[in-house]
C-alpha cells in the first residue's frame, strides 16, 4: 500500500484539508500535528508547513557585491527570527521520508507553488513528475474534496515563475541595498538602507508626486455665489473660476445689489449608475481603506484569515469575474441562513436569472473574491467589517443599475449666468443590496420653470488658490502599482509597508521623507534603471511568459545578471560621492525624527531655540533640551517600542505627544510628562 504525503501551507490549512478528506487521526511528531487518513489506496498524511520553509541565501560568505551565487536553505538557518520553523522542517522531513507519492497542497498561486515545491524537492530530491498539485479557491469541504479527487500534474510554469521572481528579487534587493550601505560606510556611517526591483520604482512614483507638491506654486482665483433661501448657485461662463481679480470685482459689482433673478434654462438628465464589479484583492483593499480606514496590508491579512476559516474564497487574486460554476444560488441559500443576510439573499434569489456584473480582469488560477456561505464564528471587529463588505458586494453584483437624475438650472442676473446643480436617486436598486457602503451625492433642488422669477438673498465673492496634487494614500499607491503592472497582488502592500519601515515615507496620506527623496535622487543619478518602471515591468512580463512556458528561468536570470553587473560597476566607481550625499541626508533625517518640539522651560525663562530631543545613551533613552547645560529639563521615555513624534501638544500639560509602537502588546499614544493628569489612572 502506498503512502501519500500532502504538504499544506499552514497548520490551519492542513487541518481544514484533513476535515474535508475523511476520518482522520492526529499523530504528533516533534510537537507538530500531522493528520493521517487510511484509504483503500493506502495511507494519506497531511503535514503542515509554515509558509516559506526554505529561503534564498548566498552560497559563500562575504559582504561584497554583486552576488549571484545563491541557494535555497532552510529559513531557520538564514533568519534568527525563524527558529520556530525548525520543528516544522524536521517534521516534514520525517513524513516525506515515508512517502511514495507527493502532493503540493499549498495555495494555488506562485508563492504556494514555490513553498510546496521547495519542501518536496529539497527534502526528498523527488522528480517533478512525481509531484501532483491540488488546485482550490476555497477551503470549504466540497472544494477541497474535489481538488483532491482531481489532482493536477506538477505546475511547472507557475513554479518556475515563482522561483524566478524570488531569485530576481534577491538579486536586486541584496545587491543594490549592499551598494547603498557600502557607500554610506565609505563615509564612516552605518545605516540600514534597502531598495529592490519593485520597491525602487514604487518609491520613485511617490517621490515624483512629493517633488511636484514641493514645486507647486498656487495661483489665485475667484468664485462668485448667488444665495437663495433653498440653494446656492455659482457664476459660470466658460468655467466657474475667474482668474483676474479686477474682472471678478467688476462682475461682483454688477450683481451684488440685485434682488431678483430669472430662470433661463432648466436641464434634466436621467442616467444610470452601474452595478459595482466583484472584488479582486486591490479592489477590496481600496474599498476597505475608503470605508474603514484599514490599511492595504491589514486588509490582506484579514482576508487571508477569513479564507483560512473557510469564509471567503482565495483573496490574492487579480480576477474581477465570478464564473457560473461557483453555483451562485447555492452560495446565496447558505448566506440566507445567516440572519444578517436573510433579507438581502431573498431579494437576490427572487430574481428570475442570476447574472452577476463582471469586471475586465482575469486570473487563470482563481475567480474574484466571494463569500462561501459558511457561517462565521467569532470574528474580531475588523474581520466582521471586511467580511460584511465582501458579502454585501457579492449581493450587489446581482443587482440592477440604480437610476439617477441630475438637474441643472441657469439663473440670469444683469447679464451674468449662475448655475445651480443637484443629483438625486430615483430608483435605488443595487444601492439597497450594498448599504451602508453606497456613497453618492444627494442634493435636491426645488421644481423650476423657465421664465420663473426668484428672490435673491445676497451674493458672495470668495478668493481661493489652486491646490497641489493630492498625496497618495496607501490604497491609492497600491492601485497605481497594479495599473502599472509593478509587483504582484500579494506583494504590493508589503512593499509600501517596507518603505515605511525604512523611514523613506511617513504619515497617511503618504509623505516622502528627505531620506526617501535622497535615495530616489541618488539612484536616479547613478543607476537610474533601478527605479525604472520600464525595466521592472519588462521582467514582470517575462515572468508571465515563464508561467506560460514561453521563456525560461535561466534566460531571464542571465539577462538580469548582465543588467545588474552593468549598473553596479558604474555605481562602485562613484561609491565615495554617493556615500557623502547619503550621509548628509541620513544625519539630518535622524536629527529631524529625534526632535519633539519647543522646550517649555526655555520659553518661560526667555532662552531662544530650546528644542526637546530624544537622546540615546548606553543606559537607555530620554528627552532632553538642546540648550543643555543651560537647560536641564528632561523627561523619561518608555523602555520598549519605537517612538514617533505626533507633532501635537498635550491639551492638559502642553508637552509633546508621542506614538509608541511595540513589537509585543498594543501600540499607544501619550504625552512625555510623567506627572500629567492624563496619566492619573495609569
- Alpha-carbon distance values, 425 to 137, 232, 443, 627 (Å): 37, 20, 9, 63
CATH number reported for the structural domain that contains residue 305 in this entry: 1.10.290.10
pLDDT-derived band at 84, boundaries 50, 70, 90:
very high
User: For residue 160, is it within any domain?
Assistant: no
User: For residue 424, is it within any domain?
Assistant: yes
User: For residue 360, is it within any domain?
Assistant: yes
CA dist., res. 348 & res. 331, Å (int): 11
How high is the pLDDT of residue 527? 85
Residues 607 and 631 in one domain: yes
CA dist., res. 144 & res. 105, Å (int): 10
Residue 454 has pLDDT above 90, yes or no: yes
Residue 251 has pLDDT above 90, yes or no: yes
Give the count of domains, the chain: 5
Catalytic residue list contains 341:
no
Residues 59 and 148 in one domain: yes
Residue 27 has pLDDT above 90, yes or no: yes
Residues 75 and 133 in one domain: yes
pLDDT-derived band at 48, boundaries 50, 70, 90:
very high
Please identify which of the residues 88, 102, 148, 314 carries the catalytic annotation.
314
User: For residue 591, is it within any domain?
Assistant: no
Strands of 428-504 (E only): list them.
453-455, 458-465
- Alpha-carbon distance values, 230 to 233, 261, 445, 525 (Å): 10, 14, 8, 58
Q: Which domain holds residue 340?
A: 281-396
How high is the pLDDT of residue 109? 93
User: For residue 561, is it within any domain?
Assistant: yes
- Among 396, 412, 445, residue at a domain's last position: 396
- Among 586, 607, 636, residue at a domain's last position: 586
Q: In the chain, what percentage of residues exceed pLDDT 90?
A: 85
Q: Are 166 and 73 in contact (CB under 8 A)?
A: no
How high is the pLDDT of residue 1? 81
Residues 417 and 269 in one domain: yes
User: For residue 459, is it within any domain?
Assistant: yes
CA proximity to 212, closest of 512, 575, 580: 512
Residues 445 and 540 in one domain: no
Residues 257 and 291 in one domain: no
CA dist., res. 613 & res. 592, Å (int): 9
pLDDT-derived band at 238, boundaries 50, 70, 90:
confident
pLDDT-derived band at 94, boundaries 50, 70, 90:
very high
Residue 679 has pLDDT above 90, yes or no: no
User: For residue 159, is it within any domain?
Assistant: no
CA proximity to 482, closest of 446, 417, 533: 533
In the predicted model, what is the mean pLDDT of the chain?
94
Give the tens place of pLDDT for each residue, 210-231. Answer: 999 999 999 999 999 999 999 9
- Among 450, 465, 480, residue at a domain's last position: 465
User: For residue 436, is it within any domain?
Assistant: yes
Residues 411 and 298 in one domain: no
Residues 204 and 319 in one domain: no
- The pLDDT of 48-55, averaged and rounded, is 97
- The pLDDT of 130-156, averaged and rounded, is 96
Give the tens place of pLDDT for each residue, 405-432. Answer: 999 999 999 999 999 999 999 999 999 9
Residue 467 has pLDDT above 90, yes or no: yes
- The pLDDT of 303-312, averaged and rounded, is 97
How high is the pLDDT of residue 681? 81
How high is the pLDDT of residue 581? 87
Give the tens place of pLDDT for each residue, 580-599. Answer: 889 989 888 888 889 999 99
How high is the pLDDT of residue 358? 97
Residues 410 and 534 in one domain: no
Residues 65 and 144 in one domain: yes
How high is the pLDDT of residue 416? 96
- The pLDDT of 74-94, averaged and rounded, is 96
Amino acid at each position: 500500500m502506498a503512502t501519500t504525503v500532502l504538504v499544506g501551507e499552514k497548520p490551519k490549512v492542513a487541518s481544514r484539508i484533513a476535515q474535508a478528506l475523511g476520518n482522520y487521526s492526529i499523530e504528533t511528531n516533534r510537537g507538530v500535528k500531522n493528520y493521517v487518513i487510511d484509504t483503500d489506496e493506502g495511507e494519506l498524511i497531511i503535514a503542515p508547513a509554515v509558509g516559506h520553509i526554505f529561503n534564498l541565501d548566498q552560497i559563500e560568505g562575504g559582504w561584497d557585491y554583486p552576488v549571484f551565487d545563491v541557494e535555497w536553505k532552510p529559513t531557520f538557518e538564514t533568519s534568527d527570527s525563524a527558529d520556530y520553523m525548525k520543528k516544522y522542517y524536521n517534521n516534514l522531513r520525517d513524513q516525506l521520508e515515508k512517502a511514495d507519492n507527493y502532493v503540493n497542497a499549498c495555495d494555488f498561486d506562485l508563492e504556494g507553488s514555490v513553498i510546496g515545491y521547495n519542501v518536496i524537492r529539497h527534502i526528498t530530491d523527488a522528480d517533478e513528475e512525481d509531484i501532483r498539485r491540488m488546485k482550490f479557491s476555497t477551503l470549504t469541504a466540497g472544494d477541497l474534496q474535489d481538488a483532491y479527487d482531481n489532482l493536477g500534474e506538477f505546475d511547472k510554469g507557475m513554479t518556475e515563475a515563482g522561483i524566478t521572481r524570488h531569485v530576481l528579487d534577491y538579486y536586486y534587493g541584496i545587491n543594490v541595498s549592499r551598494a547603498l550601505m557600502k557607500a554610506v560606510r565609505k563615509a564612516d556611517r552605518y545605516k540600514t538602507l534597502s531598495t529592490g526591483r519593485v520597491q525602487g520604482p514604487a518609491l520613485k512614483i511617490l517621490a515624483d508626486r512629493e517633488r511636484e507638491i514641493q514645486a507647486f506654486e498656487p495661483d489665485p482665483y475667484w468664485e462668485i455665489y448667488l444665495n437663495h433661501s433653498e440653494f446656492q448657485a455659482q457664476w459660470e461662463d466658460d468655467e466657474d473660476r475667474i482668474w483676474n481679480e479686477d474682472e471678478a470685482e467688476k462682475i461682483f459689482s454688477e450683481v451684488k445689489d440685485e434682488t431678483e433673478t430669472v430662470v433661463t434654462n432648466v436641464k434634466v438628465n436621467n442616467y444610470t449608475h452601474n452595478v459595482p464589479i466583484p472584488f479582486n484583492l486591490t479592489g477590496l483593499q481600496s474599498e476597505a481603506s475608503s470605508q474603514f480606514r484599514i490599511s492595504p496590508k491589514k486588509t490582506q491579512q484579514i482576508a487571508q484569515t477569513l479564507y483560512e476559516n473557510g469564509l471567503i474564497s482565495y483573496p490574492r487574486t487579480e480576477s474581477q469575474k465570478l464564473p457560473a460554476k461557483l453555483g451562485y444560488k447555492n452560495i446565496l441559500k447558505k448566506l440566507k441562513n445567516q440572519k444578517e443576510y436573510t433579507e438581502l439573499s431573498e431579494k437576490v434569489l427572487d430574481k428570475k436569472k442570476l447574472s452577476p456584473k463582471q469586471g475586465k480582469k482575469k486570473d487563470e488560477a482563481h475567480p474574484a473574491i466571494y463569500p462561501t456561505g459558511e457561517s462565521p464564528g467569532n470574528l474580531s471587529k475588523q474581520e466582521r467589517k471586511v467580511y460584511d463588505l465582501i458579502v454585501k458586494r457579492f449581493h450587489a453584483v446581482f443587482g440592477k443599475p440604480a437610476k439617477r437624475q441630475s438637474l441643472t438650472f441657469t439663473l440670469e442676473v444683469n447679464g451674468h449666468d449662475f448655475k445651480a446643480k443637484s443629483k438625486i436617486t430615483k430608483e435605488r436598486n443595487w444601492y439597497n443590496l450594498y448599504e451602508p457602503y453606497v456613497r453618492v451625492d444627494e442634493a435636491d433642488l426645488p421644481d423650476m420653470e423657465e421664465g420663473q422669477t426668484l428672490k435673491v438673498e445676497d451674493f458672495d465673492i470668495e478668493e481661493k488658490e489652486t491646490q497641489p496634487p493630492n498625496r497618495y494614500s496607501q490604497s491609492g499607491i497600491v492601485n497605481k502599482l497594479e495599473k502599472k503592472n509593478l509587483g504582484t497582488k500579494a506583494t504590493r502592500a508589503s512593499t509600501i509597508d517596507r518603505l515605511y519601515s525604512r523611514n523613506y515615507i511617513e504619515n497617511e496620506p503618504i509623505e516622502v521623507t528627505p531620506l526617501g527623496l535622497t535615495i530616489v535622487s541618488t539612484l536616479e543619478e547613478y543607476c537610474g534603471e533601478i527605479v525604472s518602471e520600464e525595466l521592472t515591468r519588462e521582467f514582470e512580463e517575462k515572468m508571465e511568459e515563464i508561467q506560460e512556458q514561453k521563456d525560461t528561468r535561466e534566460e531571464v536570470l542571465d539577462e538580469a545578471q548582465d543588467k545588474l553587473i552593468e549598473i553596479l560597476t558604474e555605481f562602485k566607481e562613484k561609491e565615495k560621492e554617493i556615500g557623502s550625499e547619503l550621509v548628509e541626508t541620513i544625519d539630518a533625517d535622524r536629527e529631524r525624527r529625534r526632535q519633539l518640539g519647543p522646550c517649555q522651560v526655555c520659553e518661560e525663562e526667555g532662552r531662544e531655540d530650546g528644542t526637546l530631543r530624544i537622546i540615546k545613551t548606553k543606559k537607555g533613552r530620554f528627552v532632553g533640551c538642546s540648550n543643555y547645560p543651560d537647560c536641564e529639563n528632561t523627561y523619561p521615555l518608555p523602555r520598549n517600542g519605537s517612538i514617533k513624534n505626533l507633532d501635537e501638544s498635550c491639551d492638559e500639560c502642553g508637552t509633546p505627544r508621542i506614538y509608541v509602537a511595540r513589537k509585543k502588546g498594543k501600540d499607544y499614544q501619550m504625552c512625555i510628562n510623567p506627572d500629567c493628569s492624563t496619566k492619573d489612572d495609569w
